[in-house]
Structure 1
Amino acid sequence: MSDTKTLSEAKSATAPHAHTAISTAGLLIALGIIYGDIGTSPLYVMKAIVPGIITADLVYGGISCVLWTLTLQTTVKYVLLTLNADNNGEGGIFSLYALVRRRGAWLSAVAIIGGAALLADGVITPPISVSSAIEGLERVYPGIQTVPIVIAIIVGLFLLQSFGTQIVGKAFGPVMFLWFSMLAILGIMGISQHPEILKAVNPYYAYNLLVNTPGGFWLLGAVFLCTTGAEALYSDLGHCGKGNIRISWMFVKTCLLLNYFGQGAWLVANEGQPLNGRNPFFELMPEWFLLIGIGIATMAAIIASQALITGSFTLVSEAIRLNMWPKVRLNYPTDVKGQLYVPSMNRLLLLGCIGVVLYFERSENMEAAYGLAITITMMMTTLLLSMWLRTKRVAGPLVLLFLVVYGGIEGSFLIANLIKFPHGGWVSVAISLCLIGVMYVWLRAYFIKRRLTEFVKIDPYMDALKELSDDDTVPKYATHLVFMSSAERQTEIESKIIYSIFQKRPKRADIYWFVHVDTTDEPYTMEYKVTELAPNDAFRVTFRLGFRVEQKINLYFRKVVEDLVRNKEVDITSRYESLSKQHVTGDFRFVVLEKFLSVENEFPLVEKLVMQAYFYLKQFIPSEDKYFGLDTSSVKIEKVPLVITPVRSVSLKRVY
């Protein structure tokens, strides 16, 4: 007997939002969720491009570079091209990897590097956004200590994560609409004072800065800050849909460019003067508006930080499903899609952000470190996207042209960003390398364990299983005994499970259940299949869950059993005579096999290092039953040895 069904009730909680269709509500939500990072870049970009004496070539060239970077990198590559590479409506580097991973094992390295760099550079986003906004207070209160205020805001933001952001999130859209409207109005006011700044639309000024101005090429590292949020824009595709993103981007880009040109106009009007720590963004504001503008900027920076935190949680959850990250605990504070909370990542991000604020102190110091790692992420996305284009049968010459053009653009940004390495860029690179190390170890260990796990045919053991179930001389272990199995074929089972049932301590039960979880390349698949191994004595349940679906195996298994009982395919009434008369349901007990490193091993050097690192990391994360969402009161964790390569010979000598 075989039955395949969909967990429709559970799926309704995780299905994509209806507002992915183009609508006013969808456009407003897109403003609140998608554009936090890229939307707050006017706070610090022009300040980074013009670090010393203001010159016309620097200003016109810088504005022109910003315009064409937003056009080529953000609009063409991400909004027009990359958004098409959606995985059932979901975006992001891991969703893109899931679409193309069958085309080569080497693509896992590309995804790991890109994902780790995105997480690492994200540690700097909340500090630089909030610091840039709060430092505006210095125009009103000279000498004010901004570091404690910035840390207080960041700590408060991270402490709120465990409660979910459903209520606050509803205000994100209107606040960001107000923010972008303010950007546009301030920009228009600035342009009206010096309309000649509009000449910067001509790409010649960008060319002149990069080629003819001494040191101009290296300013690309500062220019790149205007597009760092493009990768986050793609990652949040599933929240709003590509239609809403594309339409709202026209409004957002217009507001951003108006503000950049307005700042450029103010800078040109002050040509020949040093900035001396002044921020062109706040210089556009009238004195009476400063506190209001700083308040709006701070709210926008908080929203940008919130979007980054939520994106990091989503990134980690996807990495877990793809076996690239330890199976840490995931919480879902509300029923709203995207409301995911990862306690361990929340703590790491908080400590990282506080460390960045204390180390760099000022936003201009953070500018010197920001952007290096995200450039690598964008290059990895370009590689994965080129593979996706090949799966769509796009002509080879066009794919090659895409690789050459964007490889050249992003390669130039990377080279220009390398000068940031000694000035703080090493921080994000060091964090990236640590995260890459964790992801590599976890994925490599997964394949090592899978290769060395011994599977056996389950059919030859069915008769023995039924005899054990009927053997009254063996104390009953549970009415229903549920084993979590990693066997992908429904005809097989781990030899360790057979050992656990028959030898370690005979486990007599009325019904044996073997549960396997298969993670699909689609984000929201929720299906299950039931196979009857022995009539009313043994069943296998295979769950097919998308890589963005939470692992509530206890809940899902209960739903499966209810369906089977309703269809009269199984009787879960206790088989104890006294309890059977009362129609009492039997108890369920889960068994999870947890591997440990056996001392009986001879390792190849690389596998030895990988597995030692794997088991070292495993000490700091909860056991797998918590990840699977199992009720801890009914779970038994059994330790089983993992033997990589048995010791071939032992030099023992018998003496008399």
Structure 2
Amino acid sequence: MSSHSHQNLHSKLTTGGLLISLGIIYGDIGTSPLYVMKAILGDYAISRDIVLGGISCIFWTLTLQTTLKYVIITLNADNHGEGGIFALFALVKKTKIKWLIIPAIIGGSALLADGIITPPISVSSAIEGLRLFNPKINTVPIVIGILIGLFTIQQFGSKIVGKFFSPIMLLWFTMLGVLGTLQIMTDASVFSAINPYYGYKLLQVHPEGYFVLGAVFLCTTGAEALYSDMGHCGRKNIRISWIFVKLMLLLNYFGQGAYLINHEGKTLSEIGGNVQNPFYLIMADWFMPVGIVIATMAAVIASQALISGSFTLINEAMRLNFWPKVKIKYPTELKGQLYIPSINWLLLLGCIGVVLYFRESGNMEHAYGLAIVLCMIMTTILLNFYLIMKRVKLYLIVPLIMVYLLIEFSFLYANITKFMHGGFVTLIIASILIGIMATWYLAKQISKNYTKNVKIDDYKKVLAELSVDLSIPKYATHLVYMTNSNKVDEIEEKVMYSILQKRPKRADLYWFIHVNVLNEPYRKEYRVTEIIQDDIYRVDFYLGFREPTKINLMFKQVIKEMVERGEVDITSRYESLNKNHIIGDFKFVLSERFISNDSLITFFEKVVMNTYFILKKLSLSEQKGFGLDNSSVKVEQFPMVLHPLENIEMKRIK
């Protein structure tokens, strides 16, 4: 995608774009009225101060955190049209500050951990409305059934489902606004909650004190997902549609507040009996079944957006060397639409585990929010360096970043109380993900540090002679090696060892292929370097971090274009086949590393490398990762020597 088309995407304002953003972007943040007020009130008696304080905190959180930080400021940090924490990291990587990888890995892992709790809490909150009709209904099997259905349809792509998303979400937000407005008409004094003083007062009068902010925070949990999905809809469409979404959300929150003030002194169980949720209590009895159906559909859409976001996140992590290679499928022709089977089924298992462990959405609230606030803090840190990179004045950056770090650390502290009540679940999941990403990245760095490169010029003569040495049996017409060397005039020593010593490999043409992963999402370019005419060529692919690595197909395309230009002759050099214009065979050689017994490594390096090799066994093989045909691939084992032992002194005796 060209930079011109990115500008078009972000400057274009269309009805279609606005509708799509409703369907894709706001699922998570849009379903928060289902559980936020319920979480703020808990089992305590309703008081005017608590209700107005809760609404005030929600109003200012949505204004400062979601609107100002994400919709106005962070959406400017697009990487060639794409958003999200890894896209932001790819941007600030240019600053060459190495430790920025830490907030990127922590933030990405926290966002993925959040993807395991959002579907259960959204779907459970919606389904629990059924208790109005049958108080003893067990909602757990229904929730699990819906989640299994949702994850099963992922393999077909969300294109078909996507057509229904936007109208349903438009209906959902309209319903939120109408329900809220009807209640506000009974008590408009609820608008006094706009005064931030009530928010301050909440911290003093609420039985949980300062820690009630953990419940308030739930109203903005979808802001990070909003930034991640920017590439689907465009900045302008998101900003304009947010005006409508925020208005509808606030109307609903204020409506719930007006209803609750009219029932001051009672608890939620005293008003609603089986349904202790102000979201459902503000509905008329006749409308309740319709409301539950619409809420369930909105919850499924919120879950869908997070699942799609998780696939995109893992794909980016793989391309940035944070995650082992896993199988990726492209169910539709839609740009950026992908399906990762292993992640899909792992997410489903995680979601089912969460439902079985917590059972009620009220219990899930304790685990929700702790991981995502970590992600928001990491985004703020990266955003700071993005603003510095963009040469924004320091007197603007410092107060802005300090204010957001203060807000987010306050939310983090308030959420800490959730740790023992279930927050540990998401933090354990996030820690496992951080461990995998850090191990994979460190192992790649260790491996890179101990890979020796040699100058191709030193081997040009011997390769040219080997190519015509008839005393050595021909190994292949075209011999292709994947190389990690960034420099065109260098190649790994192990490649030369493989060609000349492991078993001399005579070929008519030698090809070296290198893949450069760029800091931008969508780009597909290649460069061919002729090292020796009709003998040695190097092909460099330049791919965006969201592009699939289909080396087999891309290499064929390169060869086809080179043949059309008359740059290379790929017909077989065997006389009988050449006469009949038969294309020569292509053989790929891939190297697999193992730690040599001659390595003298530290305990830390040993742990990292051993974990790396375990993960490697579980991940996709190199040939599948590069999309190569197994029949034309030879995998060779190479020892990797870390910190070689010193020379062993020995005395020769007669």
Confirm or deny: 8 A CA contact 2:592 2:637 kept in the other structure.
Answer: yes
Deviations 1:508-538 (A, max 9, x none): 2111110000011111121111000110111
Aligned equivalent of 1:60: 52
Among 511, 515, 528, which residue is 2:526 paired with? 528
TM-score, with structure 2 as normaliser = 0.96
Cα displacement (A) at 1:480: 1.1
Equivalent residue runs for 1:172-251 within 5 Å:
172-211=165-204, 213-251=206-244
Confirm or deny: 8 A CA contact 1:513 1:539 kept in the other structure.
Answer: yes
Cα displacement (A) at 1:15: 8.6
Cα displacement (A) at 1:217: 1.5
For residues 595 and 17 of structure 1, the distance between their equivalents in structure 2, rounded to whole angstroms, comes to 45
Confirm or deny: 8 A CA contact 1:332 1:340 kept in the other structure.
Answer: yes
Cα displacement (A) at 1:648: 2.8
Cα displacement (A) at 1:637: 1.5
Aligned with 1:551: secondary structure? coil
For residues 278 and 338 of structure 1, the distance between their equivalents in structure 2, rounded to whole angstroms, comes to 41
Aligned equivalent of 1:171: 164
* Residues 292 and 503 of structure 1: CA distance in aligned 2, closer, same or farther (over 3 Å): same
For residues 47 and 596 of structure 2, the distance between their equivalents in structure 1, rounded to whole angstroms, comes to 68
Within the alignment, does 1:38 sit opposite 2:36 as a pair? no
Within the alignment, does 1:600 sit opposite 2:598 as a pair? yes
Cα displacement (A) at 1:653: 9.1
For residues 362 and 608 of structure 1, the distance between their equivalents in structure 2, rounded to whole angstroms, comes to 43
* Residues 357 and 20 of structure 1: CA distance in aligned 2, closer, same or farther (over 3 Å): farther
Aligned equivalent of 2:74: 82
For residues 14 and 215 of structure 2, the distance between their equivalents in structure 1, rounded to whole angstroms, comes to 36
Aligned equivalent of 1:4: none
Aligned equivalent of 2:338: 340
Deviations 1:102-154 (A, max 9, x none): 32101001111111111112210000000001111111222111000101111
Cα displacement (A) at 1:18: 5.5
* Residues 574 and 20 of structure 1: CA distance in aligned 2, closer, same or farther (over 3 Å): farther
* Residues 17 and 496 of structure 1: CA distance in aligned 2, closer, same or farther (over 3 Å): farther
Cα displacement (A) at 1:652: 8.2
Equivalent residue runs for 1:448-487 within 5 Å:
448-487=446-485
Cα displacement (A) at 1:588: 1.4
Aligned equivalent of 2:394: 396
Confirm or deny: 8 A CA contact 2:9 2:234 kept in the other structure.
Answer: no
Deviations 1:199-246 (A, max 9, x none): 111111111112454533111000000000000000011111110000
Aligned with 1:579: secondary structure? helix
Cα displacement (A) at 1:21: 2.1
For residues 124 and 204 of structure 2, the distance between their equivalents in structure 1, rounded to whole angstroms, comes to 33
Cα displacement (A) at 1:589: 1.6
Aligned with 1:589: secondary structure? strand
Q: List runs of 5+ in structure 1 lacking aligned partners.
A: 1-9
Aligned equivalent of 1:106: 99
Aligned with 1:583: secondary structure? coil
Among 43, 63, 68, which residue is 1:71 paired with? 63
For residues 611 and 650 of structure 1, the distance between their equivalents in structure 2, rounded to whole angstroms, comes to 26
Within the alignment, does 1:443 sit opposite 2:441 as a pair? yes
Confirm or deny: 8 A CA contact 1:19 1:26 kept in the other structure.
Answer: no
Equivalent residue runs for 1:100-499 within 5 Å:
100-103=92-95, 104-211=97-204, 213-276=206-269, 277-499=275-497
Aligned with 1:509: secondary structure? strand
Q: Which amino acid counterpart does residue 58 of structure 1 have in structure 2?
A: I
Q: List runs of 5+ in structure 2 lacking aligned partners.
A: 270-274
For residues 327 and 8 of structure 2, the distance between their equivalents in structure 1, rounded to whole angstroms, comes to 25
Confirm or deny: 8 A CA contact 2:49 2:205 kept in the other structure.
Answer: no
Cα displacement (A) at 1:433: 1.0
For residues 580 and 241 of structure 1, the distance between their equivalents in structure 2, rounded to whole angstroms, comes to 54
Q: Which amino acid counterpart does residue 285 of structure 1 have in structure 2?
A: M
Confirm or deny: 8 A CA contact 1:20 1:239 kept in the other structure.
Answer: no
Cα displacement (A) at 1:651: 8.9
Deviations 1:556-580 (A, max 9, x none): 1111111111110011111111111
Deviations 1:76-98 (A, max 9, x none): 00000000011111110111111
Confirm or deny: 8 A CA contact 2:6 2:80 kept in the other structure.
Answer: no
- TM-align CA RMSD: 1.8
Aligned with 2:329: secondary structure? coil
Confirm or deny: 8 A CA contact 1:17 1:337 kept in the other structure.
Answer: no
Q: Which amino acid counterpart does residue 468 of structure 1 have in structure 2?
A: L
* Residues 188 and 643 of structure 1: CA distance in aligned 2, closer, same or farther (over 3 Å): same
Q: Which amino acid counterpart does residue 221 of structure 2 have in structure 1?
A: T
Aligned with 1:502: secondary structure? helix
Confirm or deny: 8 A CA contact 2:316 2:545 kept in the other structure.
Answer: yes
For residues 15 and 406 of structure 1, the distance between their equivalents in structure 2, rounded to whole angstroms, comes to 29
Aligned equivalent of 2:272: none
For residues 11 and 351 of structure 2, the distance between their equivalents in structure 1, rounded to whole angstroms, comes to 32
Confirm or deny: 8 A CA contact 1:16 1:337 kept in the other structure.
Answer: no
Aligned residues: 646
Confirm or deny: 8 A CA contact 1:38 1:229 kept in the other structure.
Answer: yes
Aligned with 1:407: secondary structure? helix
Aligned with 1:424: secondary structure? helix
Cα displacement (A) at 1:304: 0.6
Q: Which amino acid counterpart does residue 157 of structure 2 have in structure 1?
A: G
Aligned equivalent of 1:537: 535
Q: Which amino acid counterpart does residue 151 of structure 2 have in structure 1?
A: F
For residues 630 and 21 of structure 1, the distance between their equivalents in structure 2, rounded to whole angstroms, comes to 40
Aligned equivalent of 2:551: 553
Confirm or deny: 8 A CA contact 1:126 1:305 kept in the other structure.
Answer: yes
Cα displacement (A) at 1:163: 1.6
For residues 129 and 8 of structure 2, the distance between their equivalents in structure 1, rounded to whole angstroms, comes to 38
Cα displacement (A) at 1:328: 1.5
Confirm or deny: 8 A CA contact 1:191 1:197 kept in the other structure.
Answer: yes
Aligned equivalent of 1:6: none
Confirm or deny: 8 A CA contact 2:531 2:537 kept in the other structure.
Answer: yes
TM-score, with structure 1 as normaliser = 0.96
Aligned with 2:592: secondary structure? strand
Equivalent residue runs for 1:496-515 within 5 Å:
496-515=494-513
* Residues 16 and 594 of structure 1: CA distance in aligned 2, closer, same or farther (over 3 Å): farther
* Residues 273 and 212 of structure 1: CA distance in aligned 2, closer, same or farther (over 3 Å): closer
